[in-house]
A and B are shown apart, each in its own frame.
Chain A
C-alpha cells in the first residue's frame, strides 16, 4: 500500500516521507491535480452518464442536468485520484503509469488522498442536495466500489479483478437515469450490462501487450496468472456474449432498429477482431491484433452510446428521422 511503502523498488519519492507526508513545499501545478482525476476516464464516464440521462423519460431542466453531469464527473475524478493514491507504488514501476503525478513526486500521496476524499464528499453531497438522493447514493456506491472493492481489494488479489471491478465503470448510465427520473428501470440496467460485459475484452486486450509491466508490479492480471492463451480465449468469449447484450435495447423494444443494426454490426466486428486475437499468437501480428481490438472497443462503446443518445433525443424515432420508416 502506497501510504506505508518505503521499499525503494516501489518508488517512494524522496520528497515524501513515511505516510506520504511532504517534506518540502509543494510545486504541484493545477495540471498535476487535474491529471489525478484521470480526465480520459472521466470523459467516458460523463458520456455514458449523459446517455443514461438523455434517454430517460420525462424532462429535466438543463441546469439540473448540467449539475448532475458535473457531480458525476467530479465523483469519477475523485475515484481516479483515490485510485492513484492507493496504487502509487505499482504505478511507479509500470511504464504505462510511471509518469503519473505521485510517482513523479509532484503530488504527495497524502495530498492526493485528501483531494480525492474532498471531491468525493462534495460531489455526492451536491448531487444529493441539488438533484436527488438516489443518484447521490448510486454515485457514492460507485466511488466506494471502485476504490475499495476494485482498487484496494480485487486488483491485487484476483485475475477476475477487471470482470468484477468493471461494474464501477458500468454504473454511470444508471446514475444519469436516476438523476433524471428519481428511479431505475430495465433500460439503465441494460446500459449497465453493455458496459459490464464490454470491460473485460477491452482491458484484457490492453493487458495482453503489457503483461510484463503488470508482472513487474505484481498485479495478477489474467495474462500474468493464466497466460496469453487463456486471456485470448476469454476475450473471444466475452466478445461473443457482448454481441446480443449490445443489441438488447433494440431486441427488447427500447431502441430503434437503426440502433439494433448498428449494435449487431459493431458487435460482429468486435467478435471478428477478438477471433483474430485468438488466432494470432506470435510476434508483431499478435501485438497489432490486440492493439486493434483495444482501439476498436473504444469506438464500439462510443458508437453504441452515441446512437442510443440520438435515438433517445429523437424520441425513439431515429429511423423516421433518417427517412427509413
Chain B
C-alpha cells in the first residue's frame, strides 16, 4: 500500500516536562514583571498628578 507523505504530520519539536515547566515559570515571571511595571506607572502617575510630564532635567 502506498503511503501519501502529505498525510503524515511533521513531528516538530516536542518539549520535555522539564522544558515545559521552565518555560511556564519564565512566562509567569515575565508576566509579573510587566504587571509590576504597569502598576508602577499607574502609581507614579497618581503621585505626580497632572504635572506628570513636568519634571526637572
Contact = CB atoms under 8 A, between A and B. Distances in A.
Interface of A: 25-30, 33, 61, 63-64, 67, 70, 122, 126, 130-134, 182
A27 B16 CA distance: 9
A182 B47 contact: no
Nearest to A134: B57
Interface of B: 13, 15-16, 18-19, 22-23, 25-26, 29, 37, 40-41, 43-44, 47-48, 55-57
> How would you classify the secondary structure of chain B's contact residues: helix, strand, loop or mixed?
helix
Given A25-B15, A27-B19, A61 B57 contact: no
Contact of A63 (B15, B19, B37, B47): B47
A132 B44 contact: no
11 contacts: A25-B13, A25-B19, A27-B19, A27-B22, A30-B25, A63-B47, A67-B40, A131-B55, A132-B57, A134-B57, A182-B57
Given A30-B26, A182-B57, 15 more contacts: A25-B16, A25-B23, A27-B19, A28-B22, A29-B25, A29-B26, A30-B25, A63-B43, A64-B48, A70-B40, A126-B40, A131-B55, A132-B57, A133-B57, A134-B57
A138 B40 CA distance: 22
Among A25, A33, A67, A182, the one with the most B-chain Cβ atoms within 10 Å of its Cβ is A25
Contacts of B37: 122, 126
Nearest to B55: A132
A29 B18 CA distance: 10
